[in-house]
Amino acid sequence: MTTAVATEPRLEGVDILVVDDHRVFGEVLAMRLEAEARVRTVAVAGSLADARSRLPTLGGGLILLDYHLGEENGLDLLDDVARSDPRPTVVVVSMSRDPDKIVRALQAGADAWLLKAEGYRALVEVAVDARNEVMTIPSRSLREVVQRLLSKAADERRPESFLDSLSSRQLDILRLLAAAVPRDQIAKRLYISPNTVRTHVQHLHKRAGVHSTVALVARAREAGLEA
- The per-residue pLDDT for range 158-175, each reduced to its tens digit, is 567 788 888 889 999 999
Q: What is the pLDDT of residues 17-29, one digit of tens each?
A: 999 999 999 999 9
CATH of domain 162-222: 1.10.10.10
Q: Would you kindly state where each structural domain of the chain is located, as residue ranges?
A: 15-143, 162-222
Helix residue ranges, H only, the chain: 23-36, 48-58, 78-82, 99-108, 120-131, 142-155, 168-178, 183-190, 194-208, 213-222
Query: Taking 60 as the threshold, does the pLDDT of residue 6 lie above it?
Result: no
Q: What is the pLDDT of residues 34-58, one digit of tens each?
A: 988 889 999 999 999 999 999 999 9
Percent residues over pLDDT 70 in the chain? 92
Tell me the CA distances in angstroms from 179 to 4, 71, 218, one per residue in order: 57, 22, 12
Q: Looking at the domain covering 15-143, what would its CATH class be?
A: alpha beta
CB 28 within 8 A of CB 56: no
| Sign of torsion over alpha carbons 36, 42, 45, 49 | negative
pTM for the predicted model, two decimal places: 0.66
Q: Higher-confidence residue: 225 or 62?
A: 62
Query: Taking 70 as the threshold, does the pLDDT of residue 1 lie above it?
Result: no
Of 34, 60, 33, 66, which is closest to residue 47 (Cα–Cα)?
Answer: 66
Mean pLDDT (the chain) is 90
Q: Higher-confidence residue: 227 or 122?
A: 122
> Distance between CA 174 and CA 198 in Å, rounded?
12
**Residue 66: phi, psi to the nearest 5?**
-75, 145
